[in-house]
Amino acid sequence: MTDELDEAAASDLARRWLANLRSTREEADSSKWSDPEAFDDVLDLMMGDDVVSAWQVAMAMWQQANSDGEQRAIAVGPLETLLRHHGSELLPRVEALAIADPTFSRVLRGIYTHSPIAELVARLDGN
């Protein structure tokens, strides 16, 4: 997945990841999960070089999440991985969303990140 995803493909990958997340709550056996490959597909994307597509998918997940628990799972999973690898590049987008969305700002505080995202969280905490 190195070519930039279109909006429909990003939304579909987000939907698959969330469906799989929901199925893991009910079934410990990964062979019975909704879409076990979805976790790997998202992880590969978050760690890869296609930062625009990775951000698209992370934001599609965020928009499709049905609960605070799902938002936290996104934050400590794909989003944390994405920011660990591409935080400097994504800082303006992350900061804009953290200012506009109090829920995003709150969950951002709960993930382990490196500078400059950690510096952003410190600044947000100071406000």
Q: What is the DSSP string of 27-89?
A: -S-GGGSS-HHHHHHHHHHHHSS-HHHHHHHHHHHHHH--SHHHHHHHIIIIIHHHHHHHHHH
pLDDT of residue 11: 96
Instruction: Kindly report, residue by residue over 28-51, the tens digit of the pLDDT.
Output: 676 777 787 888 899 999 999 999
Residue 30: what pLDDT?
67
Q: Give the pLDDT band (50/70/90) at residue 121.
A: confident
pLDDT of 2 higher than 70: no
- What percent of the chain has pLDDT above 70? 92
Contact (Cβ atoms closer than 8 angstroms) between residue 35 and residue 16: yes
List pLDDT tens digits, range 57-116.
999 999 999 999 999 999 999 999 999 899 999 999 999 999 999 999 988 888 877 767
Q: What is the pTM of this model?
A: 0.86
50 vs 122: CA distance, rounded Å: 28
In degrees and rounded to multiples of 5, residue 37 shows phi and psi of -70, -20
Say how far apart CA 117 and CA 97 lie, in whole Å: 13
**Cα–Cα dist 49/104, whole Å:** 24
